[in-house]
Amino acid sequence: MSSYDPSSFTPFAVTVDVVVLSAADALSVLLVERGIEPFMGDLALPGGFVLPSETLDDAAVRELREETSVVPADLAGVHLEQLATFGRPDRDPRMRVVSVAYLALTAARPNTAGASDAAAARWVPVDEARSTPLAFDHLEILDVAVERARAKLEYTTLAATMAGPEFTLGELQHVYEVTWGEQLERANFRRKVLSTPGFVEATGHRRRGRGGGAPAATYRSAGASMLVPPIVRGGG
């Protein structure tokens, strides 16, 4: 039984990389431009080394704060969860690096260019990001993140998080449509959302939604985090 034999310890570098997704006009990911080799000049996921005394979750939060002025420092309105771990021996040409990837979902926010010492993080539509060179295996990480996000919208209320603190049902539907790349029946979507206890609650306000038309009632997240039964893709 060789397990946990201290003499066989092999040193690794451990990093966290965060895939921050939001749904504006298009599903978008927050990327930074690498300033050093390897992959200097390429776009990359925000991330960095885990410090000796912090948890993996703490490292993800810290990297988001340091590299991302788009996300608020207290992470209010941001969902963060561990995604998967990537550790191919050759994924970093310099050394053996294992990266714990995180998925963050947040409401769309404007790009804040040149924010202090934070890297110039900016939103890039996922379709565009997938056709540009990304550093390391970040394309693979992005793909896993997008699929996880798509799946999670089905059975959780995270779409409300991505729609912001106050949203119309049209905006909430838009989050689903942009994330799934698929149109939904408006009337059925309304019925489903409004009949699911704890998904949304009315604010009592009205406001213009997306484009011209009548003002729509606004809603906010209610307490629930899971959707039973789920809202299904592929529509049937």
In the block, residue with structure tokens 């009337």 = 187
Which tokens belong to 51?
């410090």
Q: What is the spatial distance between Cα 143 and Cα 83, in angstroms, rounded to a whole number?
A: 11
DSSP result, 48-59:
EEPPTTS-HHHH
In 60-108, at which residue ranges do the beta strands (DSSP E only) sit?
Answer: 79-86, 97-105
Verify binding: residue 156, a second copy, rule CB under 8 A.
no
185, interface contact from DNA, a second copy, none, CB < 5-8 Å by kind: DNA
Cβ neighbours, 10 Å, residue 77: 16
55 vs 183, beta carbon nearer a second copy: 55
Please, which of residues 86-125 interact with a second copy by CB under 8 A? 86-89, 92, 94-96, 98, 100, 117-119
Q: Give the residue among 64, 58, 27 at the shortest CA–CA distance from 46.
A: 64
Please give the size of the binding site for a second copy, defined by CB under 8 A: 53
Cα 192 to chain centroid distance, Å, stands at 24
Instruction: Copy the structure tokens of residue 117.
Output: 């010492």
Residues in contact with DNA, shown as a per-residue x/- string from 141 to 180 under the rule CB under 7 A: ---------------------------xxxx---------
**How far is residue 27's CA from residue 54's CA, in Å, rounded to a whole number?**
31
Choose one: 58-66, 83-91, 93-101, 205-213; the region binding DNA (CB under 7 A). 205-213
- Of 20-28, 110-118, 135-143, 215-223, which segment contacts DNA by CB under 7 A? 215-223
Indicate the length of the chain as a whole number: 236
**Residue 76 contact among DNA, a second copy, none, beta carbon within 5 to 8 Å by kind:** none
88 binds DNA (CB under 7 A): no
CB 96 within 8 A of CB 89: yes
Give the span between the Cα atoms of 183 and 173, in whole angstroms.
9
What distance lies between CA 170 and its chain's CA centroid?
21
Among 26, 56, 194, 224, binds a second copy (CB under 8 A): 56
In the complex, what is the shortest distance from the CB of residue 169 to DNA, in angstroms, rounded to a whole number?
A: 5
Task: Please tell me whether residue 186 binds DNA under the rule CB under 7 A.
Answer: yes
Interaction partner, residue 169 (DNA, a second copy, none; CB < 5-8 Å by kind):
DNA
Q: Which residues bind a second copy (CB under 8 A)?
A: 1-6, 8-15, 32, 34-36, 44, 46-56, 63, 66-67, 82, 84-89, 92, 94-96, 98, 100, 117-119, 228-229, 232, 234
Q: Which residues bind DNA (CB under 7 A)?
A: 168-171, 185-188, 190-192, 195, 206, 208-217, 229, 232, 235-236
